[in-house]
Amino acid sequence: MATTLESAATTVDAAKVAALRAQLPATARTAYFNAGTNGPLPRVAQDALVAAASKELEVGRIVPGVYEGGWERNARVKGVLAGMVGADADELALTHSTNEGLNAVLMGIDWQRGDEVVTTQLEHPGLFAPLMLLAHRFGVIVRMADIGDGGGDVPGALEAHVGPRTRAVALSHVMWSTGAVVPLAEVGAMARRRGVLSVVDGAQGTGQVALDLHASGIDAYAMPGQKWLCGPEATGALFLRRDRLADVKPTYLRYATYDVSGFLTPWAGAQRYEIGEFYGPAVLALEASLLWQRDEVGLDWAYARVAALGQRCRAGLAALGGVTVASPADRMAGLVCFQVAGMAPPDVTARLYEQGMTIRYVVYPPGPSVARVSCGWWNTEDEIDALVAAIGELAHAASTA
């Protein structure tokens, strides 16, 4: 009976995946395993972008109502995203990337020489670089916790470096070079208990794993639009918890980031951190992609499928001779990182692309050098199995070369 029910569920899933894949044309070109860099664009996003860009061309970019419409559009998109990540819309600022959000927070703290920030050795340059700038510009001391592959006690490892001068802890939600998913609520609780700001690089977390920012206790969380959310590039958002707004000063001011009736009084919500102008067609494309994932794909279904495919991929790779898996089995979702003995990660990536499979490599010390598979909900079980088989053949060839 259980088997019959299971196989019925599998058939329904397969039909759903096939229908959704038809809306992601890039998935027909190669087996697409690279949402960790850029997700596949859904047709609805492209349609929204083209319609808006054509309207600008034909009707004009600034005709009556367009300017105000832009503010309404931005507020609406923040509302949709807020609902997906467990935040309120006025705690979100639109950004053009994860990196922009991280910079907006880190540069907004009134650092004093000798203040400290705690991070991990597995961070992406998007976080390392602004932390190094803090050291260079303000004399901030950056303490680096060694968290191994990220599968152990990350909050404890961070806390061991928290001292009287620590102002913030800053780390990724999902580690880009191991796929480890950090327990956000435990980090948030530790940071609160120690009275420090928690700043999270959500580049790999947003859209890959379920997110409830309010429940997490995290203070700041920077998100990209172009990765697991399948939006266009140059889109993103920054969450700043309402009760932390006063701790982070806006570094750049522009229209609608401060109240023109007062002298540099920042806007009431996180909109105060918005930098520069936004390209309307791209924001509309992000909105279309978010609505499609929320209403047609289904977020819970997507998160569960990403995790299941990640486990399938990891188990397949772990069983291969000559392959070392870098992702902790009980702490990962869809990012699976691995090494093939005798082959550099860029070569593994290139050989797989020749066979119609798009993955990527991550080579950035002090993190591990790995090839990385991003298992998206749009991938099929057959694609995962074919990828594992192809990696097995590469490993075999490398061992006999």
Ligand X SMILES: Cc1ncc(COP(=O)(O)O)c(C=O)c1O
Between 73 and 124, name the residue whose CB sits nearer to ligand X.
124
Distance from C-alpha of 272 to C-alpha of 61, rounded to nearest angstrom: 25
**Under rule CB under 6 A, residue 119 binds ligand X:** no
Residues 29 and 357 sit within 8 Å (Cβ to Cβ): no
Q: Using CB under 6 A, which of the segments 95-103, 209-217, 282-290, 352-360 binds ligand X?
A: 95-103
Residues 31 and 383 sit within 8 Å (Cβ to Cβ): yes
Between 87 and 174, name the residue whose CB sits nearer to ligand X.
174
Other CB atoms closer than 10 Å to residue 152's CB: what's the count? 12
Q: Cβ of residue 63: shortest distance to ligand X, in angstroms?
A: 32
Distance from C-alpha of 11 to C-alpha of 19, rounded to nearest angstrom: 12
Q: Which of 111, 176, 303, 377 binds ligand X (CB under 6 A)?
A: 176
For residue 164 the two structure tokens come to: 């009287």
Residues 289 and 45 sit within 8 Å (Cβ to Cβ): yes
| Residue in this structure with the two tokens 């680096």, named with its chain if needed | 144
**Under rule CB under 6 A, residue 99 binds ligand X:** yes
Q: Cβ of residue 154: shortest distance to ligand X, in angstroms?
A: 14
Residues 345 and 358 sit within 8 Å (Cβ to Cβ): no
**Under rule CB under 6 A, residue 98 binds ligand X:** yes
Q: What is the CA radius of gyration of the chain?
A: 22
Site string for ligand X, 45-74 (x = CB under 6 A): ------------------------------
Q: Which of 126, 130, 310, 368 binds ligand X (CB under 6 A)?
A: 126
Cα four-point dihedral sign 274, 277, 283, 286: negative
Q: Using CB under 6 A, which of the segments 97-105, 250-258, 292-300, 378-386 binds ligand X?
A: 97-105
Residues 6 or more apart from 323 whose CB is under 8 A from it? 317, 338, 339, 340, 341, 391, 392, 395
Between 111 and 221, name the residue whose CB sits nearer to ligand X.
221
**Under rule CB under 6 A, residue 149 binds ligand X:** no
The count of residues interacting with ligand X (CB under 6 A) is: 13
**Under rule CB under 6 A, residue 287 binds ligand X:** no
| Interacting positions 193-252 with ligand X (CB under 6 A) | 201, 203-204, 224, 236
Residue 322, H or E segment: none
Q: Using CB under 6 A, which of the segments 93-101, 135-143, 190-198, 248-256 binds ligand X?
A: 93-101
Under DSSP, the state recorded for 262 is S
Q: Cβ of residue 108: shortest distance to ligand X, in angstroms?
A: 17
- Classify residue 114 as left (phi > 0), alpha (psi -120 to 50) or beta: left
Interaction site with ligand X (CB under 6 A): 37, 97-99, 124, 126, 172, 176, 201, 203-204, 224, 236
